[in-house]
Every structure is written in structure tokens, then in C-alpha cells.
Amino acid sequence: MSSTTPRIALLGTGLMGAPMARRLLAAGFPLTAWNRSRAKAEALAVHGATVAETAADAVRGADVVITMLDSGSVVTEVLFAGGVAEAMPAGATLIDMSSIPPSTARDHAARLAARGVDYLDAPVSGGTLGAEAGTLAIMAGGEADVFARAVPVFAPMGRAVRVGPSGSGQLAKLANQAIVGITIGAVAEALLLVERGGADPAAVREAIRGGFAESRILEVHGRRMIERDFVPGGKVVTQIKDLETIVRTADEIGLDLPLSRNVLRRYIELRDRQDAGDLDHAALFLQLEAANPL
């Protein structure tokens, strides 16, 4: 990575990638953006981004390449079928901020190392609000020296912590998503309980905040459930993808995680029976509500 201000290429400018790009541009980083739907990348031009026609074009000459894509398979396709790995200069750093399986992250790290490219898997938590505010929790896996050089790049986007070698960032994200998914289920059950029992859900939420039940999920998603506001920040389909990866990873290392399995089953039912895949993951409340008709 260059000792001067690094040149950044950001691949994937959707709900999360676009505000992350704006944060980097506002911090003074020269940035080239690419997205499969070009219009999403072009929206960043007014903020100072250069827009590339292809992913490979975007990364030529970049010191740091950030990927924020839909899945492990998409990241693999863009990196190794889309010409990105070949186009990246030796000594550059690939920071994958997508949520992908830990095993896929380790494979990408090895394949890029063979080309002289450093690698960090650095998924995030905090949703679109955190991306806009630059307050994302960033969980990074990779070599300590590579992480240290990347800290200034992470800074405009949020708080980064190195949690271990390659793949560890993705394990941390799975831990985060298990807590998020299960806690959304707990908050949904609690609010449905008080609503059906005759109490005021909004007042109950206010009453228990600040006690041991306090959490970001109760604060943000509890309000969403009460107001029935399911405009997506984190989508149901994304929560399903992450829970499926949690269960699959647990199987690989011989763990039984019954709470994650139960919540996954309910999210799948929500998606399939209520056509709610594109709603915010707080919409799990609707699955519990439908499972308990009046």
C-alpha cells in the first residue's frame, strides 16, 4: 500500500457500498467506483468518484480495492472470473467487506497471496445508518501488518478491530448475525406477548429500556415492529443468507446451534409464505404474528 494517500477502488455500490464510498470521498481518498448496475456507481460521480466501466478497469493502479458484494459466490466471480485479481498490482491490498463464508475468505486470501496481493476479510455491522454515519463495526481478519496499514482507510467508515487471521473477520460477522437474528426474534416475541396480553407495546418498550433487556435491537428494531416500518436497512434475504452460513459453518466444525436453526426456519417461512424477502429483517415480527392468528 502506498505511503501517500492510497488510491481506492470500491466494487459494489449498493445500499451499503454507496454510503461507504461517500465517506471515503469526503475524507479525501481518490476513489474509483464500479457496480454491475452502472447507474448506482454513476450517482457517486457528483461526490468526486471516477466511474469505471468494468471491475477490472476500476482496480488498475489502485492501492486498495474494497469489495462490498452480495455473496461469496459473487465475490469469487468478480475477483477471479471478472479479471480483478489479474488487474490488481502486486503489493495492493484487497479488503473484502462483504459477508461471505469463512472458508471462502481463506481461499481468496491464499489465491491472492500467490499473486502478491495482500488480503483482509472485513465484514461490517451497523446497517445503512452506520454506513451513512461512519460508525460501522468492522471485524477484520488477516495479517497484523496488513491490518495496520489499512487502519486509515477504515477510519472514515467506522471502528475496525483485527480479530485474527484470514477468515476470522467472517467468523466474527457470523457471531454478530447470530446475535442479531436471535435477538430480533426475542424482541418480536416479547412485543407480540405484551400486545396480545393487552399492554401498550410502545410503553412496555420504553419501560424496559435501560434494564438488562436493553439493546440496539430493542431500540431500533423494536420501534420498527411497533410502527410496522419494514423499509429495508438489512433485508430478510440477507439475514437468511447469513443464518444459512452460520448453520453450515457450525456443521463443518461439529457444533449444534439450535437457536440459529430455529430463527433461520422462521425467516425462510417469512420469505416464502409472506413474500417478505425484501423487507427489513425486523419483519420477523410478521411471521410470529401470522403464526399466532387472532
Asked if 74 and 14 count as a contact pair (C-beta separation under 8 A), the reply is no
pLDDT band at 117 (very low <50, low <70, confident <90, very high): very high
246-285 tens-digit pLDDT: 999 999 999 999 999 999 999 999 999 999 999 999 999 9
| 185 phi, psi to nearest 5 deg | -60, -40
pLDDT at 186 over 70: yes
The two beta strands, 136-141 and 124-125, are antiparallel
- Among the listed residues 109, 108, 140, the one whose alpha carbon sits nearest the alpha carbon of residue 124: 140
Q: Residue 214: pLDDT above 60?
A: yes
The pLDDT of residue 126 is 87
Residue 241 sits at the vertex; the CA angle it makes with 236 and 244, to the nearest 5 degrees, is: 120
Q: How confident is the model at residue 2 (pLDDT cuts 50, 70, 90)?
A: very low
Across residues 234-248, what is the average pLDDT?
Answer: 93
Instruction: Write the DSSP assignment of 42-78 as a string of letters.
Output: HTTGGGT-EE-SSHHHHHTT-SEEEE--S-HHHHHII
CA distance 34 to 53: 7
| pLDDT score of 128 | 87
Please, which pLDDT band fits residue 188 given cuts at 50, 70 and 90?
Answer: very high
Query: Residue 233 — very low, low, confident or very high, per pLDDT cuts 50/70/90?
Result: confident
In tens, the pLDDT along 55-85 reads: 999 999 999 999 999 899 999 999 999 999 9
What is the mean predicted confidence (pLDDT) over 106-110? 98
The per-residue pLDDT for 273 is 93
Q: Number of C-alpha atoms within 13 angstroms, CB side, residue 33?
A: 28
Rounded distance between C-alpha atoms, residue 197 and residue 181, angstroms: 24
Across the chain, mean pLDDT equals: 96
The tens digit of pLDDT for each residue in 20-45 reads 999 999 999 999 999 999 999 999 99
Q: State the catalytic residue, choosing from 40, 173, 235, 241.
A: 173
pLDDT for 180 beyond 90: yes
The pLDDT > 90 percentage for the chain reads 94
Reply yes or no on whether 173 is catalytic: yes
The whole-angstrom separation of Cα 282 and Cα 219 is: 12
Please report, in angstroms and rounded to a whole number, the separation of the first and last CA atoms in the chain: 60
Q: Which domains does the chain have, with CATH numbers?
A: 8-165 (3.40.50.720), 171-291 (1.10.1040.10)
Within 13 A of 127's CA, how many CA atoms are on the CB side? 18
